[in-house]
Amino acid sequence: MYRIGELAGMCEVKADTLRFYEKHGLLAPSMRTDSGYRMYTEQDANRLRFILRAKEVGFTLSEITELLSIELNKSEWACADVKGMVDDKLAQVEERIAQLNVFKTTLQALSRACCGGPESAEHCSILEALESSLTEVRCEEPGCEHGKQ
């Protein structure tokens, strides 16, 4: 059993964050001492770890709430519901990855287009691309001609 500060320290979050999660229904301590101190079990700690892992990867707290809320009411849900939720999240994650890959490609094109040297950015390909249109970034040859004059 951990007090709030212990669990927080263990998981590298602040005690305030745990109170916040409690207020928002993500994680409540399994018990309280007579004097009202929150006491977290190992199971609570595991739940917190799941929350943190999900968060690390870009799930919002309300998405995490949704995912965890089934657990409180297991018997009212069918496996299909649970799996459906996971699959929805999976689709969202894949969508997000796809989106980020688009960003990545654009950024790579921008990066490749620029010599990155100490010369003035007067004719910098990156700035020129942002000035005109991102779709026009084309300068993939290794010998960068940029800054020639």
* Distance (Å) of CA 31 to CA 24, 39, 40, 69, 79: 17, 5, 7, 19, 29
DSSP 3-state of 39:
strand
* 13 vs 82, beta carbon nearer DNA: 13
> Which positions lie near its own copies, rule CB under 8 A?
43, 46-47, 49-50, 53-54, 56-59, 67-68, 70-71, 74-84, 86-87, 89-90, 93-94, 96-97, 99-104, 106-108, 110-111, 114-122, 124, 126-127, 130-134, 146-147
Candidate ranges 53-61, 113-121, 122-130, 133-141; the one touching DNA (CB under 7 A)? 53-61
Q: Is 6 exposed, middle or buried (0-12, 13-18, 19+ CB in 10 A)?
A: middle
- The reply on whether position 30 binds DNA by CB under 7 A is no
